[in-house]
Structure formats: C-alpha cells, structure tokens
C-alpha cells in the first residue's frame, strides 16, 4: 500500500446544537470556524438533521450548507443525514442539484430514515412506515439525479415520466453516505455496480451507527480515491445526548 493510500483525512461531524447564544451568532461563529477548517485542510463537513430538539438549530441542512459553500473553497460538505421520509423526494433532489452546483461539486449526500420516532411523528410520519418511505424516496432521488426523468409508481410516491431540469455537478450523483448493512436499504444501493468502499469503522455518527460511503463513477463503478478514513465530531454537546 502506498504512503498516499495510508493517509488519514479528517472530517467534522456537527449537529449545531443550541449554544445559549443567539441563533444568528451561533451560525456566524460556525461559519467562521468552517473557514478555518477549510484552510486547515479538513476533508469534509457533515451536518446532522434534527427537528424539535435542542440538539439542532439547523432543521434544514441545505440552507446552512449553502452558506458554507459560499464561505469555503475546498472542504466537502453534506447532510449526515437527510431524513428522507420527511421530504418530498422531487423537491429534495432539486435542492441537491442546486447545492452540488453551488459548491462546485463538493457535496456529500447522507441518507437515512431517521433514528427518532418523535421527530417523524411531528411531520405525520409513522415509525412503521418510515423504512418503506425511505426506500421509495431514495430510489426516486437516485433515479432523478442519474437520468433526469422520474418514472416511478410506489405506495407513497408516484411520478409518470416527469422530467427534472436540474442536474448535479457530480455525475451520476454525489457520493452517498448510508447506514450499514447495505442489503437492508433501498434496492438502488444493493446493486452490484455500487459497492461499499470503506471499513465499518470509517465513520460513526453520535449514536454509534456505522456509516458507509459510495462514490459512483460515470461508468457505474466506484471511486475509492475520495473515501475518507476518519470522522471527527465537533460540537459543544456530549454525543450521549443523541441517544
């Protein structure tokens, strides 16, 4: 193994919890920190999505990440994770395209069904339906990002040859972060052409959930050159509060 292949790349996992200061001040302080992280060579900034909790003041990760994209130049960025059952998949895939273009192809796309039944219930999503909604939404998002056309008829979402005019900077779509095991997720991720690239210890969120990353290439394979090997939490709150 070459020296370059052994090099560790450090990332920041954040959930921007309530700081006791004003929200605007908290946002500004974090953006300044990310300017420093960008200059220091950090690989990626991962931002969690939470609702109705002191754990997060960024219930819409894409809004904050748009500001990050404009304040930084090299660091990659993305939600870890988008809570897919809470989204209209068409709207989210369009926002993903926008953010990938705004960042110049630096977007990383984390996806999950969410770990908190309480948060889903706030949006009318029942826990027993969350997995099926997640699988449908992910299939739709990957279909739209890859082809620009949605032709899908599921239990929760239906699209009949709908054309999406926005396209991501990275083709066919930005690198994915998803919960392990692979086969328990959407059929799109179980395709033989998309393989997990990292070890189970490559990235752990604050609940101890193993996350893996795929970076598909234009030919349908995977790109191992962009696989980070370590993630570093960054927050003033103890990770235990996530449980």
Mean pLDDT across the chain, nearest whole number? 80
User: What CATH number is given to the structural domain containing 116?
Assistant: 3.20.20.30
Structural domain includes residue 3? no
Q: Summarize pLDDT for 91-135 with one digit per residue, the tens.
A: 999 999 999 999 999 999 999 998 888 888 888 899 999 999 999
Does residue 2 form part of some domain? no
Q: Does residue 51 form part of some domain?
A: yes
178 pLDDT exceeds 80?
yes
Does residue 65 sit within a domain? yes
Residue 2's pLDDT band, with cuts at 50, 70 and 90, is low
Check pLDDT > 70 for residue 42: yes
Q: Say which range, 29-38, 83-92, 200-209, has the weakest mean pLDDT.
A: 200-209
Average pLDDT of span 73-85 = 96
What pLDDT band is residue 6 in, cutting at 50, 70 and 90? low
Is position 1 within any domain? Answer: no
CB within 8 A of 218, min separation 6: which ones? 171, 172
- What average pLDDT score do residues 81-99 get? 96
Three state DSSP letters for the chain: CCHHHHCCCEEEEECCCCCCCCHHHHHHHHHHHHHHHHHHCCCEEEECCCCCCCCCCCCCHHHHHHHHHHHCCCCEEEECCEEHHHCCHHHHHHHHHHHHHHCCCCECEEEECCCCHHHHHCCCCCHHHHHHHHHHHHHHHHHHHHHCEEEEECCCCEEEEEECCCCCCCCCCCCEEEECCHHHCCHHHHCCCCCCCCCCCCEECCCCCEEEEECECCCCCECCCCCCCEEEECCCCCHHHHC
Report percent pLDDT > 70 for the chain.
71
| pTM, 2 dp | 0.78
Q: How many domains does the chain have?
A: 1
Neighbours of 58 (CB within 10 A): 22
The contacts of residue 154 (CB under 8 Å, 6+ apart) are 136, 139, 140
pLDDT tops 80 at residue 208: no
Is residue 167 one of the residues assigned to a domain? yes
215 domain residue, yes or no: yes
Predicted local confidence at residue 228, as pLDDT: 46
Asked whether residue 80 carries a pLDDT value surpassing 60, the answer given is yes
pLDDT on residue 181: 55
pLDDT band of 29, cuts 50, 70, 90: very high
222 within some domain? yes
Q: Which domain holds residue 221?
A: 8-242
Q: Would the pLDDT of 223 be above 60?
A: no
């Amino acid at each position: 193994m070459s020296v370059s292949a052994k090099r560790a790349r450090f990332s920041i996992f954040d959930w921007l919890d309530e700081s006791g200061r004003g929200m605007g001040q908290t946002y500004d302080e974090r953006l300044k920190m990310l300017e420093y992280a960008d200059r220091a060579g950090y690989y990626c900034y991962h931002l969690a999505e939470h609702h109705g909790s002191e754990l997060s003041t960024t219930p819409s990760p894409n809004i904050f990440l748009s500001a990050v994209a404009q304040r930084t130049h090299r660091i990659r960025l993305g939600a870890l994770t988008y809570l897919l059952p809470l989204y209209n998949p068409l709207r989210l895939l369009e926002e993903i395209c926008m953010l990938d273009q705004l960042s110049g192809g630096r977007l990383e796309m984390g996806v999950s069904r969410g770990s908190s039944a309480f948060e889903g219930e706030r949006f009318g999503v029942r826990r027993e339906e969350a997995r099926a909604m997640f699988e449908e939404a992910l299939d739709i998002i990957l279909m739209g990002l890859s082809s620009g056309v949605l032709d899908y008829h599921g239990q929760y979402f239906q699209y009949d040859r709908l054309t999406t005019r926005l396209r991501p900077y990275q083709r066919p779509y930005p690198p994915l972060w998803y919960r392990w095991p692979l086969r328990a997720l959407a059929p799109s991720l179980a395709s033989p052409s998309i393989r997990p690239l990292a070890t189970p210890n490559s990235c752990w969120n604050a609940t101890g959930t193993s996350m893996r990353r795929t970076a598909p290439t234009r030919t349908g394979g995977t790109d191992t050159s962009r696989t980070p090997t370590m993630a570093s939490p960054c927050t003033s709150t103890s990770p235990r509060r996530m449980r």
